[in-house]
Amino acid sequence: MIASEYVIIGAGFAGAATAYHLARRGVTDIILLEQEAIPGFHSSGRNAAMVRQCVSEPALFSLTRDGAAFLRNLPADWPEPVQFKQIGSLLLGSGEGWQKLQIDAARGRSLGVDVELWTPSQARQHVPVLDDAEFDGALWCATDGVIDIHGLLSGYLKYAGAHGARMFFGAEVGAIERRADGGFELRTDGGIITARTVIDAGGAWANPVAAMAGAVALPLKPCRRHLFTSPPLSWVDAQWPWVWDVTHDVYFRPEGEGLLLCACDQEELPPGDPPVDPTIRERLAEKIQRYMPGLSDVSIHKYWAGLRTLASDGRFVIGWDPRIHGFFWVAGLGGHGVTTSSAVGALAADLITAGSGQQVDAFSPARFVT
Ligand SMILES: Cc1cc2nc3c(=O)[nH]c(=O)nc-3n(C[C@H](O)[C@H](O)[C@H](O)COP(=O)(O)OP(=O)(O)OC[C@H]3O[C@@H](n4cnc5c(N)ncnc54)[C@H](O)[C@@H]3O)c2cc1C
């Protein structure tokens, strides 16, 4: 039996960034458990790696802003090389979508995010392949970009490991029981672990993990999304920003010498390794033909799927369970878990070290529990 003050379940961005920020606050008695043989096997290793500060949910804005600032300027003692390509981003909108983007831009500016509203011709000048695309306007954010997700995840884990956190891979938590002393006993493939605090960073499995500890399920839905990559394309400029048409839900960005593309599909599935659905490729081709015809000739070289776990109100779940003393959630990071990773880990670490009375209402699991 191994004893620890804190056990974190899950070595994706939620768990790794929480371990990192606990370690930065001098907390060293941490065990991190991951069911897979490697960290980042699920959502954290299968995403589009885009850093996006302007989002539609107002409560997330400070997390995207602070998370992006961290990624642009990693601390001096950061242990891993991580490339951040500050190529900027263009969010395209039409009709109501364009109205909404203008509101998001105003909110972004008020929070110190550097955004500009561009005309379609300004956007086309920057990314000529948009010449035939139809949209009413664009939101340009120069400080967005693309991050090396593997280096980033590895950096969080390396720092935590170098400051005392113990990590076990291939260690699935199969049962959690309450001990007579008020702590928890966790059964894993590798043996029993005891802890005073359990931190649920289980991604798509956040509810099944919570159920083991007796917590009520929260309205969290794992939803599949596919990403596609093209072969090298001579006309792609690696300095183009990532471009997202938020009205028609389709995006692309430079990837190597080609492009990465997404039709923004969203289908609820049980937690797991989601199978790919070949029909999404047709959906992508239709959207491109209609809304980004300049990309119509792009062929697809590879594609894969991952799960984004979304809370019903679009906000994250970061906080103490209102009923199960000592059980903490870091879940529901949806489509923003890379950008916000450091800000999420910092908030989680602040609340965990402050003790179980502390909550931030916007993210508290208590908002769902009556
Ligand atoms: C297609 C796609 C594109 C995306 N694009 C972006 C983007 O461009 N920018 C952005 O910011 N975000 C993006 N995201 C979102 C981002 O990837 C997620 O928000 C983030 O990775 C979630 O991290 P997580 O740690 O919560 O989950 P995960 O990475 O899934 O980690 C949870 C871990 O918990 C482990 N686990 C579960 N149950 C147990 C158990 N019982 N015992 C032990 N271990 C367990 C799992 O194995 C898993 O490794 C995208 C996501 C997808 C799917």
Ligand 1: distance of its center to the CA of 327 in Å? 20
Q: Which residues of 136-151 are buried (b: 16+ CB within 10 A; e: fewer)?
A: bbbbbbebbbbbbbeb
Ligand 1: distance of its center to the CA of 258 in Å? 25
Residue located nearest, by CA, to atom 41 of ligand 1: 173
Q: State if residue 212 touches ligand 1 by the CB under 6 angstroms criterion.
A: no
Positive or negative CA dihedral for 354, 359, 363, 365? positive
- Report the pLDDT value the prediction gives residue 219, as an integer from 0 to 100: 98
Residue 61: alpha-carbon gap to chain centroid: 14
Give the number of C-alpha atoms closer than 13 A to the C-alpha of residue 101, restricted to the C-beta side.
Answer: 26
| CATH class of the domain whose range is 89-142+221-311 | alpha beta
Q: State if residue 213 touches ligand 1 by the CB under 6 angstroms criterion.
A: no
| Low-confidence residues in the chain, pLDDT < 50 | none
Q: State if residue 46 touches ligand 1 by the CB under 6 angstroms criterion.
A: yes
Ligand 1: distance of its center to the CA of 13 in Å? 7
Cα radius of gyration (the chain): 21
Backbone angles phi, psi at 218, to 5 degrees: -100, 160
Q: State if residue 274 touches ligand 1 by the CB under 6 angstroms criterion.
A: no
- Report the pLDDT value the prediction gives residue 370, as an integer from 0 to 100: 77
- Report the pLDDT value the prediction gives residue 355, as an integer from 0 to 100: 87
At 93, which amino acid appears? G
Take residue 188 and report the two structure tokens written for it.
């894993």
Q: Give the whole-angstrom CA distance, residue 366 versus residue 76.
A: 37
pTM: 0.98
pLDDT (tens digit per residue) in 127-150: 999 999 999 999 999 999 999 999
Q: Give the whole-angstrom CA distance, residue 252 versus residue 147.
A: 15
Mutate which of 42, 46, 220 to test ligand 1's pocket (most atoms within 8 Å of Cβ)? 42
- Residue 332, burial from CB neighbour count under 10 angstroms (0-12, 13-18, 19+): buried
CATH number for the domain whose boundaries are 2-46+150-219+312-368: 3.50.50.60
- Residues 6+ away with beta carbon under 8 Å from 12: 39, 40, 42, 43, 44, 45, 153, 201, 203, 337
- Report the pLDDT value the prediction gives residue 229, as an integer from 0 to 100: 98
Q: State if residue 10 touches ligand 1 by the CB under 6 angstroms criterion.
A: yes
Helix (H, G, I), strand (E, B), or coil: what is residue 344?
Answer: helix
| DSSP states of 266-313 | -EE--SS-PPP-THHHHHHHHHHHHH-GGGTT----EEEEEEEEEETT
**What ranges do the domains of the chain cover?**
2-46+150-219+312-368, 89-142+221-311
Place of tokens 């005073």: 196
Give which of 247, 23, 38, 251 is closest to 137, Cα–Cα. 247
pLDDT (tens digit per residue) in 163-185: 999 999 999 999 999 999 999 99
Give which of 307, 296, 282, 222 is closest to 252, Cα–Cα. 296
Residue located nearest, by CA, to atom 22 of ligand 1: 337
258-262 vs 2-9, strand pairing mode: unpaired
Residue located nearest, by CA, to atom 21 of ligand 1: 44
Q: Give the whole-angstrom CA distance, residue 212 versus residue 114.
A: 44
Residue located nearest, by CA, to atom 51 of ligand 1: 47
Q: State if residue 7 touches ligand 1 by the CB under 6 angstroms criterion.
A: no
Ligand 1: distance of its center to the CA of 154 in Å? 14
- For residue 16, the ligand 1 atom closest to its alpha carbon is 25
Q: Give the whole-angstrom CA distance, residue 165 versus residue 31.
A: 6
| DSSP states of 302-335 | EEEEEEEEEETTS--EEEE-SSSTTEEEEE--TT
- For residue 36, the ligand 1 atom closest to its alpha carbon is 47
